[in-house]
Homo-oligomer: A and B are copies of this chain.
Amino acid sequence: MATDRPYHHGDLRRALLDAAATAIVENGPSTVSLRDLARRVGVSHAGPVHHFRDKAGLLTALATEGFELLADALHGAREQGGIAELGVCYVRFATEHRAHFAVMFRPDLYHADDPQLAHAAERAFTSLTEGIGAQVTEGDSAAAVLAAWSLVHGFATLWNTGVMPPELVTDPVDGARAITGILNRAIGPAGGDPAAGS
């Protein structure tokens, strides 16, 4: 608390990332501006430069954080097994961290070659593909991974964009369960077909 408006902020870095997330949910990731974030946080407009070299730097940090959160979440879901769990987890992440999710797939906005970011992205990707791959018992594993990823990514994107009509879904997690359930019938272990051996 300290006196009012202390010279040092305390955790400006964190505050800026949070403000960015809020701004992104409000207006989308392409219109964020450092000056606006500084304003939201109550700091001089030159403040952010100190923590993130530039605007892309800030978004790189946000995307990295997103990939880390996603990787952790997927890792957790793998323990519980099942393609459905992984898919639901992906969708839950996307809807609960809309801003992160929106930035992560906009590599034009950040420093895509940043090593920390690349590492986090790799980790998330591995969690996803290995998690799915391990569940596939029928047919082409690569195609199954592709299908599962596309399915949940598309659903999350359409939901977040707000273009999905309410007669199709009202709750994103329910929707995710429904569609991953369908996919599971085709590629999952002991799918709808009990005759799917080994």
A115 contacts the other chain (CB 8 A)? no
Q: How far is the CA of A169 from the CA of B27 in the complex (A)?
A: 33
A182 contacts the other chain (CB 8 A)? yes
Give A143-177 interface residues, CB cut-off 8 Å to B: 143-147, 149-158, 161-165, 167-169, 175
Copies in the complex: 2
What is the number of residues of chain A that contact chain B, defined by CB distance less than 8 Å? Answer: 45
A23 contacts the other chain (CB 8 A)? no
Q: Helix, strand, loop or mixed for chain A's interface? A: helix
Query: Which residues does chain B contribute within 8 Å of A157, judged by CB atoms?
Result: 105, 153-154, 157
Whether the pair B155, A152 counts as a contact (CB closer than 8 A) is no
Q: How far is the CA of A182 from the CA of B180 in the complex (A)?
A: 12
Among A143, A153, A181, A182, the most chain B Cβ lie within 10 Å of the Cβ of A182
Among A31, A146, A158, the most chain B Cβ lie within 10 Å of the Cβ of A146
A140 contacts the other chain (CB 8 A)? yes
A27 (CB) vs chain B CBs: closest residue: B108
A116 contacts the other chain (CB 8 A)? no
Known: A105-B163, A107-B162. A150 touches B142 (CB 8 A): no
A139 contacts the other chain (CB 8 A)? yes
User: In the complex, given contacts A153-B158, A154-B155, A183-B183, what are 17 additional A-B residue pairs having Cβ atoms less than 8 angstroms apart?
Assistant: A107-B163, A125-B165, A142-B168, A143-B179, A143-B181, A144-B182, A145-B168, A146-B178, A146-B179, A147-B178, A147-B183, A150-B154, A150-B179, A151-B151, A153-B154, A154-B154, A186-B192
